[in-house]
């Protein structure tokens, strides 16, 4: 007889014959079944970055402003029946009106068309200079970090020596030989802007080149260049993208500053810097001549910085939850 049978006289004594009796099981309800279902969709690294970027209102506002500036540069000069250098002495220094949306300058030129045309030059200088510098900096810094040792020391000392020369001196020297034009500004910026990028990429490569996936690539016989371009640089793409978004506004500001002080784009070509310089003599009487080009410079730089901050937060794996 079962022990303690007097305590539970109505409960049958289970007999183990190799099978577990059904009375020991209870059917699982629908609510309990649903708790085991994974309702959240699995997201990749870039999917999480996109979701985090979309939740940042300043970054999305910056993207909207950048898109608006690109549309202004592409379509602005053809939206109005004026040329950027077309003079009309019967419409000198007009304030904004229905015919001239941003008013006119001291030669009767339409300011909206000139601001839109200046957006072409400023955005071209910023985007081209940033991407060229990032390309040079990524290749140089990646090679330096991957090789290490004496080669890395020599390459970084070259960077340190070049970094001691001010960027303005590069620009002045280039303009002496190439003249004051867009090509000379881009060339001068490409001589110095890649230095910080190379340092950043080198640090990224040094931090990941000792990981297991790099060792596995070496074991299977991949070349150093293939390891660098297929494994090390792609795994550093997040900081590189962030660097691009910060280099573009810096280049735009440099172009506007150089044109403003008279050693950049020369008149009558319209850039945001030359427009701000032209408005100095009549700034008190006709403030709209200064407000619109300065507003275009400020809004564009702020937009790229907001996007850069958003990308930095979205692509940083330490900030992921």
Judged against a pLDDT cut of 80, whether residue 15 lies above it is answered with no
What's the residue count for the chain?
321
∠ CA 213-215-218, nearest 5°, is 110
CA 313/CA 320 separation, integer angstroms: 9
For residues 176-186, give the mean pLDDT: 79
Question: What are the residue ranges spanned by the domains of the chain?
Answer: 69-319
Assign domain 69-319 to its CATH architecture. Answer: Orthogonal Bundle (1.10)
In DSSP terms, 104 is beta-bridged to 110
Distance CA 260, CA 258 (A): 5
Question: Which one has a higher pLDDT value, 281 or 123?
Answer: 123
Alpha helices by DSSP H, listed for the chain, are 30-35, 45-54, 57-79, 111-147, 149-163, 167-178, 182-192, 194-208, 212-219, 224-227, 237-261, 272-278, 288-315
Nearest to residue 293, comparing CAs of 86, 64, 99, 117? Answer: 117
**Would the pLDDT of 5 be above 70?**
no
Give the C-alpha separation, 269 to 115, whole Å.
11
pLDDT digits (tens, 9 = 90+) for 189-235: 888 788 888 888 898 888 888 888 888 888 888 888 888 888 888 88
257 with 188: CB under 8 angstroms? no
The pTM score is 0.75
pLDDT greater than 50 at residue 2: no
At 168, list the tokens: 């303005």
Say how far apart CA 305 and CA 284 lie, in whole Å: 31
128 within 8 A of 289, measured Cβ to Cβ: no
Per-residue pLDDT reduced to its tens digit, 47-102: 777 787 788 888 899 899 999 999 988 888 788 877 877 788 887 888 888 888 88
Note the pLDDT of residue 42. Answer: 64
């Amino acid at each position: 007889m079962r022990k303690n049978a007097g305590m539970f006289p109505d409960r049958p004594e289970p007999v183990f014959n190799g099978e577990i009796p059904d009375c020991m099981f209870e059917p699982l309800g629908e609510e309990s079944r649903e708790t085991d279902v994974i309702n959240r969709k699995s997201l990749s690294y870039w999917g999480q970055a996109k979701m985090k970027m979309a939740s940042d209102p300043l970054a999305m506002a910056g993207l909207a402003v950048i898109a608006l500036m690109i549309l202004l540069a592409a379509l602005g000069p053809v939206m109005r029946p004026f040329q950027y250098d077309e003079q009309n002495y019967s419409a000198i220094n007009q304030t904004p009106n229905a015919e001239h949306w941003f008013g006119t300058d001291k030669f009767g030129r339409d300011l909206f068309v000139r601001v839109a045309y200046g957006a072409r030059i400023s955005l071209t200088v910023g985007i081209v200079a940033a991407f060229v510098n990032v390309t040079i900096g990524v290749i140089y810094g990646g090679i330096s970090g991957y090789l290490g040792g004496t080669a890395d020391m020599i390459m970084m000392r070259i960077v340190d020596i070049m970094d001691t020369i001010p960027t303005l001196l590069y620009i002045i020297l280039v303009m002496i030989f190439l003249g004051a034009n867009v090509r000379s500004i881009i060339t001068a910026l490409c001589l110095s802007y890649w230095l910080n990028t190379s340092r950043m990429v080198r640090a990224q490569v040094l931090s990941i080149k000792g990981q297991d996936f790099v060792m596995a690539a070496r074991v299977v016989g991949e070349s150093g260049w293939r390891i660098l371009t297929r494994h090390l640089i792609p795994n550093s793409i997040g900081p590189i993208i962030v660097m691009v978004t910060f280099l573009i506004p810096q280049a735009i500001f440099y172009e506007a500053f150089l044109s403003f002080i008279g050693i950049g784009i020369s008149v009558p070509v319209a850039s945001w810097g030359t427009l701000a310089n032209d408005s100095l003599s009549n700034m008190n009487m006709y403030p709209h001549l200064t407000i619109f080009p300065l507003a275009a410079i400020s809004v564009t730089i702020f937009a790229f910085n907001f996007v850069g901050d958003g990308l930095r937060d979205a692509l940083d794996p330490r900030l992921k939850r």
